[in-house]
């Protein structure tokens, strides 16, 4: 049976296979089993009701909380030649009646409505009389009071549905359900545990980065220089920040627009449209922007400042990469952000208990900024994601920190300067003293007499400031907040001053998009053509074809209908509508570029070139060691080649195994040795290695023991 559904996925949507969870959901819905799908943003929830909606007889009713999303979805379906419509308060009365008449005649396969529609007697009367294929609650967390966007009208649909009576199956879909919300939805819509399909929250195409101690505006400028033409959102914490950043970037000719609640509705609408229609690639906004934006080709989301909690962060950052393409989520962290968020909580009208709760969530956000571990795993743990996850290998903590520099001496100078200044000044005055500035205020305070005056005069004031910010971000230097935040020493500062610990400053490289295995100029031509057609039809460009599709076209340049149907996102329906036009663009381009090499796409298996990995060529350090090991080198050789301790190489290799890579264990031990070590381990309570080693024969070294423990998941 699922074959038929695969055919629909192919013909209409041009996709080759189902994504995780889709098939399980679709199968249940087809069998009239109420089902809940919990999938991450961009996981492909729409397909879960669109495929059964096309497969079953009758009209599918989709309940969606956001008017703008309905329009997008309907436009996408219409672009595929599927009869669909939406009915909501944005339409005139006459238009609503006209569409309702269409619904009554069974003209549509899909009807999108806002929850309030179920309070209309007329609406209920009409749908009572038609054949319904399914009812889907999109963004189903809105149904629960435990959810973050509770909509009472969503909940009150349920009793109204009961009186309709001719509904064969209900389904619910959401990306943001906690346990409470899930069981609430289950109870309301009568969904058994076995019919909850939860694929977790992981977003494998997003790379998270934390950037500390950098001048934010310069960072953003450098980033944008490397990402011209790519769409992205920059979130600021306040309207003021948004205005200031917008002015700075605009004056440098960056094609940006801005969006916040302080602007007129008209101006906001215009900004949003310019962004969605690919006219301005950069959107600078507060968190007022983004709800109901389904733009699929957002390649990066930068947070200019730390947001208030991980929920908001993940939701905002998650607007990147809905199309499944690799995208970056960057958080520019500065310790002042914590103060700002605390202030915002303090100022709010929440009661004391609610405030405490917000402080707790804020602390988790701060911990995220300071963790040394994998950022993706941190977030998934925070959401108690049930699926198995390991280090992502993409985030700024998993990637090697490049450009490490030892700044212990500079740090000591900075710290002793703070001490000499009696911990009474902030970052900028401290930097001025170290620089040896002739600043008027500095002279007034007679700070030029300090022994640390001009100690770092070889550096620019900005470089000194950056180092101070870095020390604060790393909690090597504390701050005390008042009207003017001042620098304070803490225990870590003392350790550094006493030479008990060193300080290494690192800079994570600015992420760049490296998938250059397609012809960029052809991509640009296709994009221009897409934009032209989209404008004629008054549609967002990504509704016609996603960027993924255009990239595939510029990689394989198909010449025929058959070739074209092999491209991701082009099924027969899409081809009928736009295929020829794009074939024409490709043909013309090829005439101009006869040297361009054709690549053949054979169902699913892509012939060379292989897409480049987005990590540096080599990949994470432990995998570099692992690969050398697999190529036959001994641990000692690798340690010589890489100039690292043998212990480190060993742990690299074991880590690779824990990441799921295969290892030939017989290099480390034989069966008998394994049995002896495991038996000894059984006897010894102490989890440390030393007692175990002592209990074993002399020739059992640490490597052998560790290997057995790692293999057996005991370490
Ligand atoms: P969600 O609602 O879960 O956030 P969408 O339904 O908007 O996600 O889908 C996100 C993107 O993934 C869309 O561009 C969609 O066309 C694409 N997509 C969905 N299912 C598949 C699939 N099986 N293969 C390839 N792309 C898919
Ligand atoms: Mg969706
Ligand atoms: Zn990671």
Contacts 24+ apart (CB under 8 A), 482-485: 484/426, 485/336, 485/339, 485/426, 485/427
Taking residues 568-587, report their average pLDDT: 91
Query: What pLDDT is recorded for position 481?
Result: 64
Q: Please, which residues bridge with residue 301 across strands?
A: 233, 329
DSSP, collapsed to helix, strand or coil, labels residue 561 as: helix
Q: Yes or no: say if 641 and 628 are a contact pair by the CB < 8 Å rule.
A: yes
Confidence of residue 635 (pLDDT cuts 50, 70, 90): confident
* Ligand 1 interacting residues, C-beta cut-off 6 A: 15, 18-19, 22, 39, 41-47, 296, 322-324, 546
Q: Which of 24, 42, 204 to mutate to test the pocket of ligand 1 (most atoms within 8 A of CB)?
A: 42
Quote the mean pLDDT of the chain.
87
| pLDDT band per the 50, 70, 90 thresholds, residue 603 | very low
pLDDT at 400: 67
- 250's CB contacts (< 8 A; 6+ apart) are 256
Among candidate residues 672, 684, 612, 621, the one with its CA nearest the CA of residue 648? 621
pLDDT given at position 154? 85
Give 623's contacts (C-beta < 8 A, 6+ positions apart): 393, 652, 656, 659, 661
Which numbered ligand comes closest to the C-alpha of 372? 3
The C-alpha atoms of residue 169 and residue 259 are separated, in whole angstroms, by 40
| Range from 45-59, 146-160, 570-584 carrying the lowest mean pLDDT | 146-160
Q: According to the model, what pLDDT value does residue 148 have?
A: 66
Instruction: Assign 389 a pLDDT band (cuts: 50, 70, 90).
Output: low
Chain-centroid distance, C-alpha 57: 37
Q: What three-state secondary structure class fits 594?
A: coil
Residue 357 in this model has a pLDDT that exceeds 80: yes
Going from the N-terminus, what domains does the chain have, and what CATH number goes with each? 2-198 (3.40.50.300), 206-399 (3.40.50.300), 404-506 (1.10.10.10), 513-592 (1.10.150.80), 621-711 (1.10.10)
Contact between 708 and 678 (Cβ < 8 Å): yes
93-97, 241-245, 364-368, 400-404: segment of lowest average pLDDT? 400-404
Please report which residue ranges of 258-335 form alpha helices under DSSP H: 265-276, 310-317
H or E, element range at 664: none
User: In the predicted model, what is the mean pLDDT of residues 630-637?
Assistant: 74
**What ligand is nearest to the CA atom of residue 393?**
3
pLDDT class of 8 with cuts at 50, 70, 90: very high
Predicted confidence band at 136 (pLDDT cuts at 50, 70, 90)?
Answer: very high
Q: Which two tokens stand for residue 624?
A: 């570099």
d(Cα 339, Cα 481) in Å, to the nearest integer?
8
Please give the full DSSP string across 480-535, using - where no structure is assigned: E-SSS-EEE--HHHHHHHTTSS--EE--PPPP------S-HHHHHHHHHHHHHHHH
CB 222, CB 510: distance < 8 Å: yes
Report the nearest-CA residue for atom 5 of ligand 1: 44
Confidence of residue 2 (pLDDT cuts 50, 70, 90): low
pLDDT confidence of residue 164: 85
Ligand 1 centroid distance, CA of 44 (Å): 3
Furthest C-alpha separation in the chain: 90
Please provide the distance, in angstroms rounded to a whole number, between the alpha carbons at the two ends of the chain.
45
For 168, phi and psi rounded to 5 degrees?
-70, -35
45 close to 37: Cβ distance less than 8 angstroms:
yes
Q: Is the pTM of this model over 0.75?
A: no
CB neighbourhood size of 373 (10 A): 13
Amino acid 402: pLDDT: 60
Take atom 25 of ligand 1 and give the residue whose Cα is closest. 15
Structure tokens of 148?
């973050």
Instruction: Report the alpha-carbon distance of residue 635 to residue 12 in Å, rounded.
Output: 53
Q: Which residues contact 709 (CB under 8 A, 6 or more apart)?
A: 677, 681, 715
pLDDT above 90 covers a percentage of the chain that reads 49
Of 137-146, 206-215, 237-246, 642-651, the one with minimum mean pLDDT is 642-651
User: Is the four-CA dihedral 251, 256, 262, 264 of positive or negative sign?
Assistant: positive
User: Which ligand has the shortest distance to the CA of 615?
Assistant: 3
Give every CB contact of residue 403 below 8 A, 6+ residues apart in sequence.
Answer: 506, 507, 509
Which of the residue ranges 96-105, 175-184, 581-590, 599-608 would you say has the lowest mean pLDDT? 599-608
Q: What is the pLDDT of residues 265-290, one digit of tens each?
A: 999 999 999 999 999 999 999 998 98
Token pair in block for residue 509: 């490289």
Ligand 1 atom 14, closest CA: 323
Query: Which of 44, 73, 80, 292 has most ligand 1 atoms within 8 Å of CB, for mutation?
Result: 44
pLDDT band at 523 (very low <50, low <70, confident <90, very high): very high
Q: How many Å apart are CA 258 and CA 247, to the nearest integer?
A: 10
Contact 309, 148 (CB under 8 A): no
Residue 689 CA to residue 667 CA, distance in Å, equals 21
Helix locations, 288-351, DSSP H? 310-317, 336-347
Highest mean pLDDT among 184-198, 464-478, 701-715: 184-198
Residues with C-beta atoms within 5 A of ion ligand 2: 45
Residue 401: per-residue pLDDT: 63
Q: What are phi and psi of 481, to 5 degrees?
A: -95, 140
Sole residue written with tokens 């899930």: 182
């Amino acid at each position: 049976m699922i074959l038929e559904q695969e055919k629909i996925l192919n013909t209409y949507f041009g996709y080759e296979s189902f994504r995780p969870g889709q098939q399980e959901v679709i199968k249940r819905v087809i069998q009239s089993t109420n089902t809940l799908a919990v999938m991450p943003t961009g996981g492909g929830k729409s397909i879960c009701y669109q495929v059964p909606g096309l497969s079953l007889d009758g009209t599918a009713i989709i309940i969606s909380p956001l008017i703008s999303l309905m329009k997008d979805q309907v436009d996408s379906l219409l672009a595929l030649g599927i009869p669909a419509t939406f009915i909501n308060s944005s339409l005139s009365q006459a238009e609503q009646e006209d569409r309702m008449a269409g619904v009554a005649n069974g003209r549509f396969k899909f009807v999108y409505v806002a929850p309030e529609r179920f309070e209309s007697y007329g609406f209920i009367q009409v749908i009572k009389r038609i054949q319904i294929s399914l009812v889907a609650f999109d963004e189903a967390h809105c149904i629960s009071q435990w959810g973050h966007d509770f909509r009472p009208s969503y909940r009150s649909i349920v009793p109204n549905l009961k009186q309709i009576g001719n509904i064969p199956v209900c389904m619910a879909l959401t990306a943001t359900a906690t346990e409470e919300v899930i069981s609430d939805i289950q109870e309301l819509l009568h969904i058994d545990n076995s019919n909850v399909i939860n694929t977790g929250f992981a977003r494998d195409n997003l790379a998270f980065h934390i950037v500390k101690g950098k001048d934010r505006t310069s960072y953003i400028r450098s980033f944008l220089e490397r990402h011209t033409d790519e769409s992205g959102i920059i979130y600021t914490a306040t309207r003021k920040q948004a205005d200031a950043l917008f002015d700075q970037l605009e004056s440098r000719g960056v094609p940006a627009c801005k969006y916040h609640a302080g602007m007129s509705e008209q101006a906001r609408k215009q900004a949003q449209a310019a962004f969605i229609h690919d006219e301005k690639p950069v959107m600078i906004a507060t968190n007022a922007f983004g709800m109901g934006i389904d733009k699929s080709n957002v390649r990066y989301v930068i947070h200019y400042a730390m947001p208030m909690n991980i929920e908001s962060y993940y939701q905002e950052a998650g607007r990147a990469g809905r199309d499944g393409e690799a995208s970056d989520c960057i958080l520019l962290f500065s310790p002042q952000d914590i103060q700002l968020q605390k202030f915002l909580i303090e100022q709010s009208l929440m009661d004391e208990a609610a405030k405490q709760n917000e402080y707790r969530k804020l602390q988790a956000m701060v911990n995220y900024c300071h963790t040394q571990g994998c950022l993706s795993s941190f977030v998934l743990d925070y959401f108690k994601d049930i699926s198995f996850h390991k280090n992502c290998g993409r985030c700024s903590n998993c990637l090697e920190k490049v450009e490490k520099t030892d700044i212990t001496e500079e740090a000591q100078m900075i710290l002793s300067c703070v001490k000499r200044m009696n911990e009474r000044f902030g970052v900028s005055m401290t930097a001025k003293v170290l620089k040896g500035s002739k600043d008027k205020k500095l002279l007034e305070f007679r700070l030029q007499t300090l022994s640390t005056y001009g100690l770092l005069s070889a550096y620019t004031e900005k470089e000194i400031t950056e180092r101070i910010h870095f020390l604060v971000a790393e909690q090597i230097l504390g701050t005390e907040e008042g009207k003017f935040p001042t620098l304070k020493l803490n225990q870590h500062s003392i350790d550094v001053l006493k030479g008990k610990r060193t300080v290494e400053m690192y800079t994570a490289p600015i992420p760049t998009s490296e998938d250059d295995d397609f012809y960029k100029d052809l991509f640009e031509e296709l994009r221009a053509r897409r934009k032209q057609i989209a404008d004629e039809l008054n549609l967002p460009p990504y509704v016609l074809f996603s960027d993924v599709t255009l990239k595939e076209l510029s990689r394989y340049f198909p010449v025929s209908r058959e070739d074209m149907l092999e491209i991701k996102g082009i099924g027969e329906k899409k081809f009928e509508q736009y295929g020829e036009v794009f074939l024409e663009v490709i043909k013309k381009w090829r005439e101009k570029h006869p040297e361009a090499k054709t690549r053949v796409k054979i169902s699913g298996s892509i012939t060379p070139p292989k897409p480049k990995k987005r990590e540096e060529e080599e990949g994470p350090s432990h995998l570099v060691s692992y690969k050398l090991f697999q190529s036959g080198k001994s641990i000692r050789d690798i340690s010589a080649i890489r100039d690292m301790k043998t212990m480190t190489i060993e742990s690299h290799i074991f880590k690779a195994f824990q990441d799921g890579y295969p290892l030939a264990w017989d290099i480390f031990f034989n069966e008998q040795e394994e049995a002896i070590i495991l038996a000894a381990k059984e006897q010894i309570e102490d989890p440390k290695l030393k007692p175990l080693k002592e209990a074993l024969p002399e020739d059992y070294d640490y490597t052998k023991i560790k290997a057995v423990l790692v293999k057996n998941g005991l370490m």
